[in-house]
Structure 1
Amino acid sequence: MDDSELERLLAAGPPEPFVRTMARLAEEDPGFVAISCEDDSITRRELERRSNRLARVYAERGVEFGDYVAIALPNGIEFYVAFFAALKVGAVPLPLSYRLPVVERQGILDLAKAALLVGVREDEHPGHPSLPAGFEPGAQVSDEPLPEVVSPAWKAPTSGGSTGRPKIIRAGSGAVGSSALNRLLYRYTPDDVQAVVAPLYHNSALGMSIGGLLLGQRLAVAKKFDAEEVLRLIGDHGITWLMLVPTMMHRMYRLIEAGGRYDLSSIRIMLHLGAKCPEWLKEKWIELLGPEKVLEIYGGTESVAITLITGEEWLEHRESVGRPWYGDMKVLDVEGNELPSGEIGEIYMKGAGGLGSTYEYVGAQARSINGWETLGDLGWKDEDGYLYISDRRVDMIVSGGANIYPAEVENALDQYPKVLSSVVVGLPDDDLGQRAHAIVQAEPGTTARELLGFLADRLVRHKVPRSVEFTDQPLRDDSGKVRRSRLRDAAIERVKTRA
């Protein structure tokens, strides 16, 4: 889609402040159940009134226009109430994992200079204004509408990237917008029932569910991702639209493959993103749902540019993440020259509004060349302009002069029926420079010999890991993200200890 077409479509739906949209929806159908989470639910009117009351508490605690309100709450209705309460005082919601260690959380609070922390006891961060999880304003606090205000940034999620060092990715737009973009890109409709199964500190789960609410959808929220529970939720709630990451798709498919009977017939659109999806796994989901129901996008939290590919297109361009739908992308070499089709380089993006129009980093600097920005991903384009992702630049392993892309090895490992998850890292090697090392979560009794034998038929020899270790702990979080640098450093220490 070219920029002129996008401008025309956005102009067709006049932008409206998020808080006005929610108030309007509550007035149009106050009894409509906006969100359900397990046995709890909330109507539009209740969401409007509860967030009004909480917003007044935020203001009493000193939150002012443009301040950050850090929300460290698990998935649930309380999160959405806190989110809209922040917007109603003109603050910027900063979602955090409620599982973060105190030291890591404090680092983010210091970086943001957050005015309020929601979901954590005040004694965990002495001197920092906080409200605990489960807090309810006193009955004397009014639930009447507040003066309308538009937050200067409607979200500010955090990301550690591959380095593990936190940064904040502040949205480049205020809490005002049109539903046109979401309806076109995500194939939304107001009548959809959206499943929210990824953690809400994950940018995509947050953005897509807020977009759904503002469009008038009903949300069915899972407190945490559990493959079997999500499969049942789809049938029980008649889910028509959901977003998954490949880790979720993998776990869910294993249950279906094992003979589980689940009703997926209500699904109209299944969108996936967040990591490179193995070809075999995507093919299985296309077989399950039909190619017309499977969408994939690539673009990152920064949303500088976005690609889109339908299931039908993917069958013609396997492993591609599509062509630019918004903005533009090209593949450059280390000197900044554009590479011809088929050659791997670093992916650079340019948005319709130019540098700094879609996001702002707090705690990091963007990498750019002549107005083109990169998120650090490597890839290539085919002759038709379809983009393919190889791996993260910082994750690539150079072993004996040969490039090894961890994602490729992990995709092969994950095809083994006993493997639940895998992460491949590069360890120092006196001879090769680096050697590939696999960390695998698998069913009890799985051996390194059987895994390496499985890989020998699927990967060229130099890509097969030189060592394998097993763990009984999940390697990726509920959003499919992995702290690769932390796993690599821990593996290096274990090797040193054994030496």
Structure 2
Amino acid sequence: MNDAAVGEPFVRILANLAKAAPDAPAVTCGTESVTRAELERRATALAHAYQRLGVRQGDLVTIGLPNSVEFFAAQIAVWKVGATPQPVSWRLPLAERRAIVELADSALVVGVEAADHPDRVCLPAGFEPTAADIAAPPLPELVSPAWKAPTSGGSTGRPKIILAPSPAAITGTAAGEVMGMQSEDAQLVAGPLYHNAPLMFSSYGLLMGHHLVVQPKFDALQALELIDSHKVTWLQVVPTMMSRMLREFRQHPGRFDLSTIRVLWHMAAPCPVWLKQAWIDLLGPNVIWELYAGTEAIGGTIITGPEWLAHRGSVGKPALGELTILDDEGNPLPPGEVGEIFMRPWEGMPKPYKYLGAEIKRVGTWESIGDLGWLDDDGYLYMSDRRTDMIVTGGANVFPAEVESIINGYPGVIDSVVVGLPDDDLGQIVHAVVQADSNVTEDQLRDYLLDQIVRYKVPRAVEFVAEPLREDSGKVRRSLVREQAIARRTGAR
């Protein structure tokens, strides 16, 4: 292996961290906590088991485990045999998982029963290596050609696998340092590890010596308790988490100390202006950072808290690659006009991703993941919505994210999802599904919205639900919400 070309392998970095401070905490999840040395031993034994079961360098290994110490041990074990971790939701419907496993041609599927994939080698959750695996010496150092392969349904609406172009090795500045991480930070991992951001940042943290404080499932009150008790210094969240945490923080005045937080990143969904301002007021503008990018990492924008205060609502300027706004014919749009966001790497940069099972939308050298937005005169980007989510009602465009951000600012509202329902007269009507306290009424909400936005954007109907509308990652299956709303509407007639 040519270290100069590949960089320092992840597995060597982790082994060296375990040698340097074997008793330092590595991962805490629920009631289970392991040191660096314990995690290293566990991953090494698993790696021997995976290799014995036929996993080879360059293979993809599907990991269908919930957030847990077991997940991280499995991921490191996959790196140790030179293979690529391919995480999926442990609650993914079997048909979807089968399609992904087939696409990945997985050499091993971890966290599932053998009957689910009769043509694959499978290991159930809780699998324990044999005594021989545990007693075996460290494996020869191997490097995976792609360090991760998460799935995404973003721009196509159907699951696809996105192979990282980078091997499981570090060259130059560690990516975590770019994100403001410091050695031995305590990092809260609040999102599900089958999503790219929690997977990526927790991996960076491991490689920098962080103590990962992992939530099995996001819970806002527990997140605040963990920040307080573990003195968390770095975390990545999504706006849904921010809203729920803020709500709990305000309901328990004086209970939680958040002063240890040095860096808070938010991403993955548009953040309402009121919510971001509230967190800036709580932690200070220098603590709050925002990233806009896709799993594909074609390009991205970053904005600091102080910048945001001068450009309220923006997601920042390009920090990686170039960005432009194009109309439906592929022509550049001037500042202030909404169009599709296209990005491309800087000249000379390697291709940042490889799809399995999909093609990305291209206009010349520009590529799009399907989002809409506009630029101001200073080149700052503002998000509108995903093209596939846009509602056209009576010939007017309505962006669900805009309406949701206003609904979510109403006292008593926990979350909302806005969808377009078919209508013979208008083509589509705006419909809101709202999770709220019992004292919030449709009339109150409509009166509030009429004071905030133009009438055609105000939902024609509001449904109230008790259950959460989004996954722990902050993502929502909007098509499913729409289908269920149509079914309820049809059944009510």
Q: TM-score, normalised by structure 1?
A: 0.94
Which amino acid in 2 is paired with 1:350?
Answer: R
- State the 1:124 CA deviation: 2.9
Tell me which residue corresponds to 1:150.
143
1:477 and 1:17, CA in 2 relative to 1: closer, same or farther beyond 3 A? same
Tell me which residue corresponds to 2:52.
60
- State the 1:144 CA deviation: 2.1
Aligned 1:260-279 pairs, distance under 5 A: 260=253, 261-279=255-273
- Residue 369 of structure 2 aligns to a residue whose secondary structure is strand
Which amino acid in 1 is paired with 2:472?
Answer: D
Q: Structure 2 residue aligned with 1:382, among 361, 376, 380?
A: 376
Deviation per residue, 1:258-286 (Å, 9 max, x gap): 24421101100111001000000000000
Tell me which residue corresponds to 1:17.
9
State how far apart, in whole Å, the 2-side matches of 1:162 and 1:366 are: 8
Comparing 312-321 with 60-69, greater Cα deviation is found at: 60-69
Q: Structure 1 residue aligned with 2:78, among 64, 86, 91?
A: 86
State how far apart, in whole Å, the 2-side matches of 1:96 and 1:194 are: 22
Aligned 1:406-421 pairs, distance under 5 A: 406-421=400-415
Which amino acid in 2 is paired with 1:231?
Answer: L
Conservation of the 8 A alpha-carbon contact between 1:179 and 1:215: no
Which amino acid in 2 is paired with 1:428?
Answer: P
- Residue 153 of structure 1 aligns to a residue whose secondary structure is coil
Deviation per residue, 1:316-357 (Å, 9 max, x gap): 000101111111111111111111111111100011367971
- State the 1:257 CA deviation: 2.3
State how far apart, in whole Å, the 2-side matches of 1:106 and 1:419 are: 37
1:477 aligns with 2:471: yes
Q: Structure 2 residue aligned with 1:27, among 13, 16, 19?
A: 19
Conservation of the 8 A alpha-carbon contact between 2:176 and 2:201: no
- Residue 394 of structure 1 aligns to a residue whose secondary structure is helix
1:467 aligns with 2:457: no
- Residue 114 of structure 1 aligns to a residue whose secondary structure is coil
1:173 aligns with 2:150: no
Aligned 1:3-152 pairs, distance under 5 A: 15-141=7-133, 142-152=135-145
State how far apart, in whole Å, the 1-side matches of 2:485 and 2:33 are: 44
State how far apart, in whole Å, the 2-side matches of 1:362 and 1:478 are: 25
1:435 aligns with 2:429: yes
Conservation of the 8 A alpha-carbon contact between 2:421 and 2:430: yes
- State the 1:14 CA deviation: 8.8
State how far apart, in whole Å, the 2-side matches of 1:233 and 1:465 are: 38
Tell me which residue corresponds to 1:240.
233
Tell me which residue corresponds to 1:323.
317
Deviation per residue, 1:420-448 (Å, 9 max, x gap): 11100011111111111101111224321
- Residue 228 of structure 2 aligns to a residue whose secondary structure is helix
Tell me which residue corresponds to 1:227.
220
1:162 and 1:422, CA in 2 relative to 1: closer, same or farther beyond 3 A? farther
**Stretches of structure 1 lacking an aligned partner (at least 5 in a row):** 1-11
Conservation of the 8 A alpha-carbon contact between 1:162 and 1:395: no
State how far apart, in whole Å, the 2-side matches of 1:138 and 1:43 are: 21
Q: Structure 2 residue aligned with 1:444, among 431, 438, 447?
A: 438
Which amino acid in 2 is paired with 1:73?
Answer: L
Aligned 1:289-438 pairs, distance under 5 A: 289-352=283-346, 357-438=351-432
1:13 and 1:229, CA in 2 relative to 1: closer, same or farther beyond 3 A? farther
What is the identity percentage for the equivalent residue pairs of Structure 1 and Structure 2? 54
Conservation of the 8 A alpha-carbon contact between 2:145 and 2:168: yes
Aligned residues: 488
State how far apart, in whole Å, the 2-side matches of 1:284 and 1:218 are: 28
Aligned 1:207-218 pairs, distance under 5 A: 207-218=200-211
State how far apart, in whole Å, the 1-side matches of 2:5 and 2:358 are: 34
1:280 aligns with 2:274: yes
Which amino acid in 1 is paired with 2:462?
Answer: V
Conservation of the 8 A alpha-carbon contact between 1:422 and 1:475: yes
- State the 1:179 CA deviation: 6.6
Deviation per residue, 1:340-378 (Å, 9 max, x gap): 111111100011367971111111111111111101000
Conservation of the 8 A alpha-carbon contact between 1:50 and 1:143: no
Conservation of the 8 A alpha-carbon contact between 1:67 and 1:115: yes
Deviation per residue, 1:237-257 (Å, 9 max, x gap): 000000010000000111122
Which amino acid in 1 is paired with 2:190?
Answer: V
- Residue 321 of structure 1 aligns to a residue whose secondary structure is coil
Tell me which residue corresponds to 1:6.
none
Q: TM-score, normalised by structure 2?
A: 0.96
Deviation per residue, 1:130-182 (Å, 9 max, x gap): 11111111122134211111111111111122664211111111111247252
1:249 aligns with 2:242: yes
Deviation per residue, 1:68-95 (Å, 9 max, x gap): 1111111111100000111111111011
Which amino acid in 1 is paired with 2:149?
Answer: A
**Stretches of structure 2 lacking an aligned partner (at least 5 in a row):** none
State how far apart, in whole Å, the 2-side matches of 1:174 and 1:162 are: 25
- Residue 412 of structure 1 aligns to a residue whose secondary structure is helix
- State the 1:186 CA deviation: 1.0
Which amino acid in 1 is paired with 2:473?
Answer: S
- State the 1:219 CA deviation: 1.1
Conservation of the 8 A alpha-carbon contact between 1:199 and 1:224: yes
Deviation per residue, 1:46-72 (Å, 9 max, x gap): 222211110111111111222111111
State how far apart, in whole Å, the 2-side matches of 1:13 and 1:223 are: 37
Aligned 1:177-188 pairs, distance under 5 A: 177-178=170-171, 180=173, 182-188=175-181
- Residue 142 of structure 2 aligns to a residue whose secondary structure is coil
Which amino acid in 2 is paired with 1:190?
Answer: S
State how far apart, in whole Å, the 2-side matches of 1:332 and 1:164 are: 21
Conservation of the 8 A alpha-carbon contact between 2:6 and 2:169: no
Which amino acid in 1 is paired with 2:336?
Answer: G
Comparing 398-407 with 278-287, greater Cα deviation is found at: 398-407
State how far apart, in whole Å, the 2-side matches of 1:15 and 1:355 are: 17
| Aligned-residue CA RMSD (Å) | 1.8
Conservation of the 8 A alpha-carbon contact between 1:355 and 1:371: no
